[in-house]
Structure 1
């Protein structure tokens, strides 16, 4: 499938998925109310971090190794990395569940009404199912099946959750944060089953009679910087919400989660571009074709930026009215924070898929350094700004960290690889 068709298909899948996810957020925000929605959002952020070891950088490594193995027709290596990933994720996932169960009666969560560990356990199970789904999706995308690789987590899970919420509300169930998390677990199970069926049918025939070539030590070592990179990136993406819950109030968490959900629309173009170009970048790097790498990278940046700017303008003019009309009047206080985060995401879109460029070229240590610096800045700024400025302070901290890691990775890619991750390369080459 050509890159234009893949981008179009990915755009449709991501559009449908983002719409379903947004509708889920709207329903949850309205059904639960600002406080219960704050608890639900806080637990989602918490268990996402707790379940991090279950991925441990494996999806990125699996995508890269699968794409390289397919490009070189090394089917034994492909079969080996799939089995290695399955063993690793399953083992880590079981350990997390056992440890969480053992500590269930020991750890108490004293955050407003958050004293029910059932929602924590449900959240961990849901996060582990999503983690396994991300690994499976990476295998499909590595095979070049970019659209199929996105369907379970981007379409099936959010649409299933949306349908379950509609049915629950229609039957007048008493939906609180714990009940909503239980519905999310069911949706994750449905996505898991569908994804397993997709991978079973997409498995190359050449794998059947091949003996797996498993490089235990090499892949474990390679996954470590990827694990740290993924971990720090995930923590950096949730630390503002967690610190807002710890320093601020649970209602501020609910409002801020709505702001983040709205701002997520601005990174849609970048997400689409990254999903599409990552396997192509891996293949181009495997062939040492830096000219193709540059073209792919700049194309991704252009798509991202063109999608982001209209959303930034829309939020600037009608942001407060949209928050009031869509989520409810209690969430309109997040307008300023929405503008701050949206502006920083527009800058991120301009810098393009710098993370994909560095990880697909085997330079993930630079991503790790960038994310570490950004996370530290984020934490320090949150500590300083939240007590005085609340959600606006959290937004400023997050926006600053986003700009820092984007600028750093752009500079490193330019210097080390000679690749400009922005679309400026297209403009400069057209003028020659």
Structure 2
């Protein structure tokens, strides 16, 4: 991994973690101040808006990530590329307002058949959130495709602060509706940036409308399948079979699971331009297996210990952060945490398939797993509620990652990667065992903090004893030290060198 991908991944991770932190703080405020039912209504609204926004995107996000680096390499100017972005944005605007009209038409016909009967204004705020998010998301894909992730990071800081202030102030003054309105503020700056792109004259940059339409159509289908059926569709079934309070419990568990998920997801957020850049240099059109292995191992070092450790401390963490009222979320969290490595594996595989233009194959994978997801939810959620939904997610993403891996061709063998992942898994299991043992001995917040410290120490020692980390991975991760505060650079590099097994 070169310096460019490391820098972009670091900024992308920082942006994602900023949103994660503000979103997590907002969820704590809503849960403690408004209770499980209001938390469930807001969680359902946010999910509905996010799902509709992914559908309205029409696959333009991946097109931007793939084509903007290519246009830059072909010598197109900044103005030309902005014109190309405007060319893709206009259909997104049209689809957004079409879906908005259908959304209000549906609930106008259905009258009181909706999830927020106690506060119908939530329907209107959800619609506004959908519009700002749908168009605002275009900004992220444009800036990442242009490899100007530092600008997106600064924009994210502003958005996170606005969201946090908006949710807290809105919740205190206007209750549930005010808190939901605060989420709209998170996308205002991105929405305005995207609308600014529409000022530029539309440019095709030599890319035919037929190619764009074909790619966009397949990508749209793929995004519709993923966003509707694989992006927390279980909330719909939980609301239908058990009510919004159960949705609130599940949402709390899901927000905590994101603590383990978002760092690797954001670190892998710049992989499509990275893959595309290196694939152009390979005569075979396939990535060397060593490059893919480096990406997967680097993500596994973060993902597996956070996943296993989170499962071990789930009950104490839920009750300490959200209160005893949300204790039913703990068992759901312990299962959801174990799905995190599989979700990350699917993210890495999906981005590689997009980079090598296997969009159609990825669509087939999504369709098959959507059937499993819906079928599993229908069978398990009525009897097992959130625990059943979490188990279905593990099953779906396990199948998804295996199928995608079989469709990806590399130059070389993946056997050494498998051995490395087994060792990281063993180290992560010891990490979880250490945390669980401390929790059994020490109660309260002190026990939770000591459990986390013990887990980190046990994990680092296990990595060292098992000789897991090669020098090449140390070199990659050491480049991240330039993004740390100066006081932390020395200890960070010292830990990395201690972990190294001395192999390339």
TM-score (norm 1): 0.86
**Computing the radius of gyration over CA atoms, which structure comes out larger, 1 or 2?**
2
Deviations 1:377-425 (A, max 9, x none): 11111111111111101111111111111111111113xx558789818
Of the candidates 245, 251, 263, which is equivalent to residue 245 of structure 2? Answer: 251
Residues 1:337 and 2:332 are matched in the alignment: yes
Of the candidates 87, 96, 105, which is equivalent to residue 84 of structure 1? Answer: 87
Residues 1:286 and 2:284 are matched in the alignment: no
Count of matched residue positions in the alignment of Structure 1 and Structure 2: 420
Instruction: Give how far 1:53 is off.
Output: 3.7
Change (3 A) 1:346 1:408: same
CA–CA separation in structure 1 for the residues paired with 2:256 and 2:232: 15
> What SS does structure 1 have at the residue aligned with 2:27?
helix
What is the aligned partner in structure 2 of residue 181 from structure 1? 180
Change (3 A) 1:400 1:425: closer
What is the aligned partner in structure 1 of residue 129 from structure 2? 126
CA–CA separation in structure 2 for the residues paired with 1:149 and 1:383: 39
CA–CA separation in structure 1 for the residues paired with 2:413 and 2:92: 35
Of the candidates 232, 236, 241, which is equivalent to residue 225 of structure 2? Answer: 232
Contact kept in structure 2, 1:14 and 1:268, CA below 8 Å: yes
Change (3 A) 1:232 1:109: farther
CA–CA separation in structure 1 for the residues paired with 2:6 and 2:125: 40
Deviations 1:123-174 (A, max 9, x none): 122122222222222121111223434554x4433331111223345xx413
CA–CA separation in structure 2 for the residues paired with 1:311 and 1:391: 21
What is the aligned partner in structure 1 of residue 361 from structure 2? 366
CA–CA separation in structure 2 for the residues paired with 1:209 and 1:179: 38
Contact kept in structure 2, 1:341 and 1:395, CA below 8 Å: yes
Residues 1:273 and 2:267 are matched in the alignment: yes
CA–CA separation in structure 2 for the residues paired with 1:238 and 1:151: 29
CA–CA separation in structure 1 for the residues paired with 2:179 and 2:101: 23
Contact kept in structure 2, 1:241 and 1:253, CA below 8 Å: yes
Of the candidates 293, 296, 305, which is equivalent to residue 301 of structure 1? Answer: 296
Of the candidates 96, 100, 108, which is equivalent to residue 97 of structure 1? Answer: 100
Deviations 1:318-348 (A, max 9, x none): 2111101111212121222212121121234
The one of the two structures with greater contact order (alpha-carbon pairs below 8 A, sep at least 6) is 1
Q: Structure 1: any 5+ residue segments left out of the alignment?
A: none
> What SS does structure 2 have at the residue aligned with 1:110?
coil
Instruction: Give how far 1:276 is off.
Output: 2.4
CA–CA separation in structure 2 for the residues paired with 1:386 and 1:222: 36
> What SS does structure 2 have at the residue aligned with 1:390?
helix
What is the aligned partner in structure 2 of residue 161 from structure 1? 163
Change (3 A) 1:63 1:347: closer
TM-score (norm 2): 0.75
CA–CA separation in structure 1 for the residues paired with 2:55 and 2:224: 8
> What SS does structure 2 have at the residue aligned with 1:144?
coil
Which segment is superposed worse, 396-405 or 287-296? 287-296
Of the candidates 46, 49, 56, which is equivalent to residue 48 of structure 2? Answer: 46
Contact kept in structure 2, 1:130 and 1:188, CA below 8 Å: yes
Alignment of 1:19-58 (within 5 A): 19-58=21-60
Of the candidates 405, 425, 429, which is equivalent to residue 400 of structure 2? Answer: 405
What is the aligned partner in structure 2 of residue 220 from structure 1? 213
Contact kept in structure 1, 2:289 and 2:414, CA below 8 Å: yes
CA–CA separation in structure 1 for the residues paired with 2:414 and 2:58: 26
> What SS does structure 1 have at the residue aligned with 2:110?
coil
Residues 1:384 and 2:387 are matched in the alignment: no
Contact kept in structure 1, 2:49 and 2:133, CA below 8 Å: no
Contact kept in structure 2, 1:67 and 1:142, CA below 8 Å: yes
Instruction: Give how far 1:116 is off.
Output: 4.8
What is the aligned partner in structure 1 of residue 323 from structure 2? 328
What is the aligned partner in structure 2 of residue 136 from structure 1? 139
